[in-house]
Amino acid sequence: MNRFSKIVFSAVFATVLAAPAVMADPAIVYSVGGKFDGSFNESAYSGVKRFEEATDKTVREFTLERDAQSLQALRNFASRGNTPVVAIGFNQANALGQAAPEFPETDFAIIDMVVDKPNVRSYVFKEQEGAYIAGLLAAMASKSGTIGFVGGMDIPIIQRFLCGYKLGALSVNPDIEILSNMTGDTPAAFADPVRGGEIATSQIKRGADVIIQAAGGTGLGVLQAAADAGILGIGTDSNQNGLHPGKVLTSIRKRVDNAVYDSFQSAQNGSFEPGIQVLGLADGGMDWVLDANNKMLVTEDMKTAADAAVSRISDGTIKVHDVITEGACPV
C-alpha cells in the first residue's frame, strides 16, 4: 500500500473508530497544491524525506484539498499523539490558532505565518531578499528590457516577493519594465497550471523574456510556457532548474525543507522551542541555485553581481523593503 492510500485509510479509520493509539511520529499537513507541486510543498516534502532517511521514523502526511480541511487534519494528527505537527502554508494559520490550545502537550509548527501560541513554532521567510536576487538576475539576463512576474494568490507574502523582485531588477536597470499578474484570490490560485501558462504567454507576447513564478503548482505552467516560447523562467521555493534544463535561469529556493527538518529533529531530541524563527539570505533560509542545468545561462558578471548582492543584504548594507512590516512597495 502506498503512502497516499495509507493516509486516506488512517484518516478514515481514525474518525470512524477513534482509535486512541499513541505514536510519537511526526506529522505534516501540506497546503493546497500537494506535495508534488514542484515548488513550495515539494520543498517541505524533501525535508520530510531527509528526516525519514536520517531516522527510521515514518512521517504522517495529509494534503489539503481546501482550507476547511486543515483544522480537522491538525486535530486528527494531534489526537493520535503525533508530535510535532507541522502545518505548511499561511492558509492554515487560523486552524492552527484554534487547534494548538486544544492540545497543549503537542508541539506544532507552521511555515509562512506567525501563530502566537505557547506550543507553536512559526517559521517565516524573508521572501523579499531572495526575490531581490531573482530580479537582479532577471534584469541582467533580459534582452528586451521587459521582465515578468506571475504570482499565485494575492496575499502579503507574494506581494512582498513581488516588491523584492522589482527592487532587484531596478537596481540593475532603472528603465526596466516589469509586468506582474496574480493568478487569483483563493488558495486554488496555487494549483492552476493552465491559467499560469496562459498568464505567462500573455506576458511573453507583451515582450517579457524572463518570467519568475511565485505561484506554487501554478508555476509549473508558467515555466512550461516560458520554455515553450524559448524564453527564460525563474523557479521558486524548490530547485526547479532541472524541469526545463537551459530554460530556467535560476531557482530562488526557500528552504522550507530545512525548517521542516529542523522542527522534526528538535522535537525528536527534546529541544523543540516555540517562538518565531525568521529565515533569510544571511542564514541560508533563502538562496539561489547555480547547477549543471543553468550554468550556461548565468554569466560570470551575473554570478558576481548576485553574490555581491547576497553578501550586502546579509551584512545589512542593502535593506530590501518588506511590504508586510513597512507598508506598500515604494516602486
Residue ranges that bind other proteins, judged by CB under 8 A: 2, 4-5, 34-37, 63, 180-182, 185, 188, 191-195, 197-199, 201-202, 205-206, 217, 220-221, 224, 228, 243
Query: Is there a contact between 305 and 140 (Cβ–Cβ < 8 Å)?
Result: yes
- Shortest gap between Cβ of 256 and other proteins (angstroms)? 16
Query: Is there a contact between 313 and 132 (Cβ–Cβ < 8 Å)?
Result: yes
- Shortest gap between Cβ of 5 and other proteins (angstroms)? 8
CA-CA distance, 228 to 84, in Å (whole number)?
42
Q: Which three cell numbers stand for residue 105?
A: 502537550
- Shortest gap between Cβ of 35 and other proteins (angstroms)? 6
Q: Work out the number of other CB atoms within 10 angstroms of the CB of residue 331.
A: 11
CA-CA distance, 228 to 198, in Å (whole number)?
12
Query: Is there a contact between 281 and 314 (Cβ–Cβ < 8 Å)?
Result: yes
CA-CA distance, 216 to 153, in Å (whole number)?
10
Nearer to other proteins, 8 or 278 (CB): 8
Nearer to other proteins, 111 or 191 (CB): 191
- Shortest gap between Cβ of 326 and other proteins (angstroms)? 20
- Shortest gap between Cβ of 244 and other proteins (angstroms)? 9
- Shortest gap between Cβ of 329 and other proteins (angstroms)? 12
Nearer to other proteins, 8 or 24 (CB): 8
CA-CA distance, 231 to 247, in Å (whole number)?
7
Nearer to other proteins, 118 or 327 (CB): 327
- Shortest gap between Cβ of 22 and other proteins (angstroms)? 29
What angle, 0 to 180 degrees and rounded to 10, lies between the N-to-C axes of helices 256-268 and 40-54? 30
Nearer to other proteins, 120 or 189 (CB): 189
Q: Decide: residue 2, CB within 10 A, 0-12 exposed, 13-18 middle, 19+ buried.
A: exposed
Nearer to other proteins, 112 or 192 (CB): 192
Nearer to other proteins, 115 or 220 (CB): 220
Our measurement of the distance from residue 137's CA atom to the centroid of its chain's CA atoms, rounded to an integer in Å, reads 20
Q: Cell 515578468 identifies what position?
A: 148
Helices (H) and strands (E) in the chain, counts: 11, 12
CA-CA distance, 8 to 71, in Å (whole number)?
16
